[in-house]
């Protein structure tokens, strides 16, 4: 498989997709066109999302074609040279993808080696489920099941912060609840500015910040770029 799973689209103070565009270009080397899934967009249109991504992908010479324009989105995925799924609301994205049969189609394609790029919600949906998203369930999908291209769960935008005066649960506490209920599953807290790249059977962390690792019965620990991540596969 060839997966590039990005925590966030935009670093603070930077332009949209500025920080990961070099890695995206390398990941999609030799590709001149991608099929884009915009369904995580909620407060702006799918067409506007397609245009926003196209404006950045112009820099790397790649044409963006959105599934929302297709009469048969599933067939469009099955015929894609490469697939890109954008961030936004994971529940909205999942609902629409399930309705159109895109989860199974993408799983088939990535297992065959079709390159995949996702950020935020687009990374969430590559996991077995969407249960470690940060998003509010604004719509109800058929289930929490996702593509299952990877065996572990991702928590994008992972934060260590616990603001002064805040008495609610931290991100870590929420993930600890998840692994208590799902003891067989690894969860990775992917901090902003970082991404995971899976090429064939090698998983690599890219970025200057460590990734936090959670599993029931294992003391929480961190890994850095260059560390062996084969235990997640």
Residue 28 is encoded by which pair of tokens? 């999609």
Average pLDDT, rounded, for the chain: 96
Is 225 an annotated catalytic residue? no
Residue 217 is encoded by which pair of tokens? 């019965």
Q: Indicate the pTM of the whole model.
A: 0.96
Residue 102 is encoded by which pair of tokens? 């895109």
Is 120 an annotated catalytic residue? yes
pLDDT at 167 over 70: no
- Per annotation, catalytic residue among 120, 123, 143, 208: 120
201: confidence class by pLDDT, cuts 50, 70, 90: confident
CA–CA distance, 76 with 188 (Å, rounded to integer)? 31
- Per annotation, catalytic residue among 143, 157, 200, 227: 157
Measured in Å, how far apart are the chain's first and last C-alpha atoms? 12
Is 68 an annotated catalytic residue? no
CA–CA distance, 95 with 210 (Å, rounded to integer)? 32
pLDDT at 206 over 80: yes
142 Ramachandran zone, left/alpha/beta (phi>0; psi -120 to 50)? alpha
> Over the stretch 131-145, which tens digit does the pLDDT of each residue have?
999 999 999 999 999
> Over the stretch 66-80, which tens digit does the pLDDT of each residue have?
999 999 999 999 999
93: confidence class by pLDDT, cuts 50, 70, 90: very high
64: confidence class by pLDDT, cuts 50, 70, 90: very high
Domains of the chain plus CATH, in order, are: 2-151+194-208+227-232 (3.40.50.880)
> Over the stretch 43-58, which tens digit does the pLDDT of each residue have?
999 999 999 999 999 9
CA–CA distance, 90 with 61 (Å, rounded to integer)? 28
Alpha-carbon distances of 205 from 51, 182, 193, 232, rounded to whole Å: 29, 24, 11, 12
Per-residue confidence (pLDDT) for residue 169, from 0 to 100:
81
CB 172 within 8 A of CB 182: no
């Amino acid at each position: 498989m060839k997966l590039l799973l990005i925590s966030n689209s935009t670093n603070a103070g930077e332009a949209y997709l500025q920080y990961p565009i070099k890695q995206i270009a390398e990941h999609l080397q030799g590709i001149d066109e991608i099929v884009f899934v915009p369904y995580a967009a909620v407060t702006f249109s799918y067409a506007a999302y397609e245009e926003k991504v196209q404006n950045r992908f112009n820099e790397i010479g790649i044409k963006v074609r959105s599934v929302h324009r297709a009469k048969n989105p599933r067939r469009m995925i099955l015929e894609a040279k490469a697939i890109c799924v954008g961030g936004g609301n994971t529940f909205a994205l999942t609902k629409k993808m399930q309705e159109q049969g895109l989860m199974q189609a993408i799983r088939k394609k990535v297992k065959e080696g079709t390159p995949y790029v996702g950020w935020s919600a687009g990374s969430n949906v590559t996991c077995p489920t969407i249960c470690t998203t940060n998003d509010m369930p604004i719509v109800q999908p058929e289930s929490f099941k996702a593509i299952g291209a990877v065996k572990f769960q991702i928590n994008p935008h992972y934060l260590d912060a616990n603001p002064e005066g805040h008495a609610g649960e931290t991100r870590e506490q929420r993930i600890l609840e998840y692994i208590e209920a799902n003891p067989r599953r690894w969860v990775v807290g992917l901090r902003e500015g970082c991404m995971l790249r899976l090429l064939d059977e090698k998983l690599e962390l890219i970025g200057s910040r460590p990734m936090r690792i959670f599993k029931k019965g294992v003391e929480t620990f961190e890994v850095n770029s260059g560390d062996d991540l084969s235990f997640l596969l």
